[in-house]
């Protein structure tokens, strides 16, 4: 009987692709919540994500591992930092999509991986290479064009990219399971969210009790937070990181389409900005595929030598 391992990557690919598709259409969901302000939406996102994540950890047998994190002071402090960064990132994103700046949000998530490369080189001393240098330069030219030709500092894009790059770096340092990390991040933010929503409700500014439909939509913010992360975790376990790295551009591409179809301002100068960014993304993608091919060839040569 054959004992060869199952190499079917289709379930992992479907999960990884689904995670980015959900993130891609997320602006439409949060726009449907525009009856609430971004702070209230983020607080509900935190509150309802905690029990969902606790259930996921319990079912997957990872609750003991999650509790074990409490014994590591350095990891806890790092997760407190990531908790602050992810809540800021969520607020900026929701503010962007609900104030007619979906294109800026899209631009931010195109810039993010290129900014992560720069941080990897500067902080982690990772190798760069000519194609990644070109990718970073093209992204910088895109931002410069937005400032000079469009006459607009893309602060939303830069804030989204910076906060998520910093978040990604600290999560890399923490080296904990994605589900466990998000559980503690939302748990650390939970007291603030509960106090904030209580204050809103006492002052008649909350929207949870206005109608069952609004209550369900606000509760669904927890699912929109957790579900794509779980799918992403499945994808990461079954696919090359380089494949996931290329799939990540699906979400901002969908957000770009939502912004344009939503009637946001998109002049020829805006097109030049995105053209620079897209060219940088292309360089990054080519570099990623090139490095993956080199590693595959090297691994094959080593296997033959053995």
By residue range, what is the domain housing residue 105?
A: 11-305
Least confident of 153-162, 264-273, 296-305: 296-305
Model pLDDT for residues 166-195, shown as the tens digit of each residue: 988 888 888 788 889 889 999 999 999 999
Q: Is residue 289 part of a domain?
A: yes
pLDDT tens digits, residue range 22-44?
A: 999 999 999 999 899 999 999 99
82 in a structural domain: yes
**Residue 6, domain member (yes or no):** no
The string of DSSP codes covering the chain is ---PPP---HHHHHHHHHHHHHHHHHHHHHHTTTTS-HHHHHHHHHHHHHHHHHHHHHHTT-HHHHHHGGG-HHHHHHHHHHHHHHHHHHHHHHHHHHTT-HHHHHHHHHHHHHHHHHHHHHHH-----HHHHHHHHHHHHHHHHHHHTS----HHHHHHHHHHHHHHHHHHHH---HHHHHHHHHHHHHHHHHHHHHHHHHTT---TTT-HHHHHHHHHHHHHHHHHHHHHHHHHHHS-HHHHHHHTTHHHHHHHHHHHHTT----HHHHHHHHHHHHHHHHHHHHHHHHHHHHHHHHHHHHHH-
pTM, full prediction: 0.86
Highest mean pLDDT, choosing among 95-99, 116-120, 231-235 = 95-99
pLDDT for 239 beyond 70: yes
pLDDT over 50 at 60, yes or no: yes
Residue 3 is assigned to a structural domain of this protein: no
Percentage of residues in the chain having pLDDT higher than 90: 52
For residue 2, being part of any structural domain is answered with: no
Q: How many domains does the chain have?
A: 1
Q: Identify which has the larger pLDDT, 199 or 8.
A: 199
């Amino acid at each position: 009987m054959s004992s060869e391992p199952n190499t079917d990557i289709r379930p992992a690919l479907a999960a990884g692709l689904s995670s980015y598709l959900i993130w891609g259409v997320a602006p439409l969901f949060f726009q449907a919540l525009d009856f609430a302000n971004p702070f209230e939406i983020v607080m509900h996102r935190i509150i309802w994500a905690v029990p969902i994540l606790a259930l996921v950890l319990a079912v997957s047998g990872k609750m003991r591992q999650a509790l074990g994190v409490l014994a590591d002071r350095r990891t806890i402090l790092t997760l407190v930092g990531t908790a602050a960064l992810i809540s800021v990132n969520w607020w900026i994103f929701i503010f962007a999509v609900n104030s007619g700046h979906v294109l800026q949000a899209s631009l931010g998530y195109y810039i993010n991986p290129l900014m992560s490369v720069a941080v990897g080189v500067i902080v982690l001393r990772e190798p760069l290479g000519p194609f990644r240098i070109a990718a970073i330069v093209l992204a910088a030219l895109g931002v410069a064009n937005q400032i000079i030709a469009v006459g607009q500092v893309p602060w939303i894009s830069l804030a989204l990219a910076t906060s998520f790059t910093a978040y990604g770096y600290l999560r890399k340092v923490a080296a904990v399971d994605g589900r466990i990390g998000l559980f503690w991040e939302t748990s650390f933010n939970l007291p603030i969210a509960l106090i904030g929503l209580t204050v809103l409700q006492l002052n008649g500014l909350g929207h949870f009790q206005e109608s069952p439909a609004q209550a369900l939509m606000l509760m669904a913010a927890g699912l929109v937070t957790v579900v794509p992360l779980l799918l992403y975790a499945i994808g990461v376990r079954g696919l090359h990181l380089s494949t996931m790295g290329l799939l990540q551009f699906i979400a901002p591409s969908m957000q770009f389409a939502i912004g344009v179809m939503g009637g946001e301002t998109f002049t020829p100068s805006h097109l030049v900005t995105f053209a620079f960014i897209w060219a940088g993304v292309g360089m990054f993608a080519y570099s990623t595929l090139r490095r993956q091919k080199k590693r595959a060839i090297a691994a094959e040569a080593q296997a033959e030598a053995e």
